[in-house]
Structure 1
Amino acid sequence: MKPTAVEELIESNLEDAQATVTHARDEHDEDHLAATVVSPAFEGLPLVQQHQKVYDSLGEHMTTDIHALELSTYTPAEYDDLEAEG
């Protein structure tokens, strides 16, 4: 599955999400992806639940089209802080 298609799925199924999806580093398999997702839907949720929201947004694609997904999830405030540090 192409990274842009994964971005579109996440952004259309997760509240106000902004997703950046690439092929995972050091992987030759196109089904191994890495995603950074920023959404206010993550406010107050533990990391496991944040990741579950992303998986839910991808639905059956997680078992049929995507072999592995490395996730980084942030609330907008967390991402702004990260950008300010960088």
Structure 2
Amino acid sequence: MGMREDELKAMIEAAFPGAAVTITDLAGDNDHYSAHVVSESFRGMSRVAQHKAVYAALGGRMGGELHALQLTTAVPS
């Protein structure tokens, strides 16, 4: 089934207003993506906590509509 790139980006942007979000479809199948998320809201959070926050924003779609997400997060410099 898969998830469209713009849908994935919109979900992350809704959870992290003002974030810079870059999505790349890794396999061309709407099922394997790379996401780079830069958000001020990550400041003070561990990398693990940042990733958990992004996965939470996806509302349980990991493992269903979205099979794989290669995730990198950062705070603005």
Class of the TM-score when normalised by the shorter of the 2 chains? 0.7 to 0.9
The offset of 1:29, in angstroms, is: 3.8
Pick one of 22, 25, 44 that aligns with 2:24. 22
Pairwise CA RMSD = 1.4
SS of equivalent to 1:76: coil
Distance 1:29 1:48 in 2: 27
- Map 1:37-76 → 2, pairs under 5 A: 37-76=37-76
User: 2:6 maps to which residue?
Assistant: 4
Higher RCO structure (Cα 8 Å, ≥6 apart) = 2
* Alpha-carbon spacing, 1:28–1:5, altered in 2? closer, same or farther (3 Å): closer
| Structure index of larger Rg | 1
In the TM superposition, structure 1's runs of 4+ consecutive aligned residues that sit over 3 Å from their partners are none
Q: Residue deviations 1:4-63, cap 9 Å, x none?
A: 110000000124322111112xx3543010001011111011111110010011112123
The runs of 5 or more residues in structure 2 that have no matched partner are none
SS of equivalent to 2:62: helix
What percentage of aligned pairs have identical amino acids? 39
